[in-house]
Structure 1
Amino acid sequence: MSWPAIAILAAVALLASGQALMWFRAKRSVGRPAHDTSAIDGPASGDSRRLYYFFSESCRPCRAMKPAVEKLRETHRNRIPVDIAQRIDLIRKFAVAETPSFVGVEGDTVQEVLLGGQTERKLSRLLSGEDGVA
């Protein structure tokens, strides 16, 4: 095998292992106590079920999801946007490693962590509790 092929395979393996590590860290937080989010909960502070949407203005997938996520805000006050540039403290506490990310909290416990883009239907089901999570 040639050196360029080995270098490409090594790069692909490195990227894949990085993605796997982010997924593992996110899933490991399920079932753990949620962190204090009272500063950003707003009208949803009294809701038992909340879905935190971690995004970045410079994230292309986040911009693509923005219309669907904003539409959900009209019917679900418990969808709480978190701009990672403004809330670095929450990124660290929730171990958010990529955007977009969704963290579903029920009561005081993390119930679900979703990485990457999601469908509007899935997010709506999560917000309403139809999936049995967040």
Structure 2
Amino acid sequence: MNLSIALTAGLVFALLLLRQYALVCRARRSTGSVLPATAPVRNGIYFFHARHCGPCQAIKPLVERLRVAHPNLVAVEVSDDPTLARAVGIAATPSFIAVRDGRVKEVRLGAVSEAWLRQHLTGH
């Protein structure tokens, strides 16, 4: 009995790691892709989030505070704009997409630091 529980737990853990690896690979493939013409910002950061996402809600106050001074920080609720989320390959939330000249420069899955946000918002 204990061996089967351990094997099942190991299999579940391996599947979760495989899923995470697949998400990271998908995000990396988005690098260099062109934003849709309807995207509101050509240089800045897109914060893709979901209402039901706990980590999204945890980082949202930081994003909202920075948005006051940085109009090039765009928060996108994925269920409100699934077309944009699909266009840049969003498969998990929270996700941050740094863009320059209408192209995806960098993709980050999960929460990011305030320093990373500021660096990519100012282009330094």
RMSD, matched Cα: 1.4
Measured after TM superposition, the shift of residue 119 of structure 1 is: 1.2
Which TM-score applies when normalising by structure 1? Answer: 0.85
Q: 1:123 aligns with which of 113, 117, 124?
A: 117
**Is 2:108 the partner of 1:83?**
no
Matches within 5 A, 1:14-93: 14-38=15-39, 41=40, 45=41, 48-93=42-87
Identity of aligned residues (%): 35
Deviation of 1:63 (Å): 0.9
Consecutive unaligned residues of structure 1, counting only runs of 5 or more, are: none
Q: Distance in 2 between matches of 1:108 and 1:73?
A: 19
Corresponding residue of 2:14: 13
Q: 1:4-63: CA deviations, max 9, x gaps?
A: 11111110000000000000100111112222334xx2xxx5xx5121110111111111
Is the partner of 1:57 in helix, strand or coil? coil
Distance 2:71 2:30 in 1: 24
Q: Hey, which bits of structure 1, 4+ residues long, moved more than 4 A?
A: none
Farther off after superposition, 56-65 or 29-38: 29-38
How many residue pairs get aligned? The number is 123
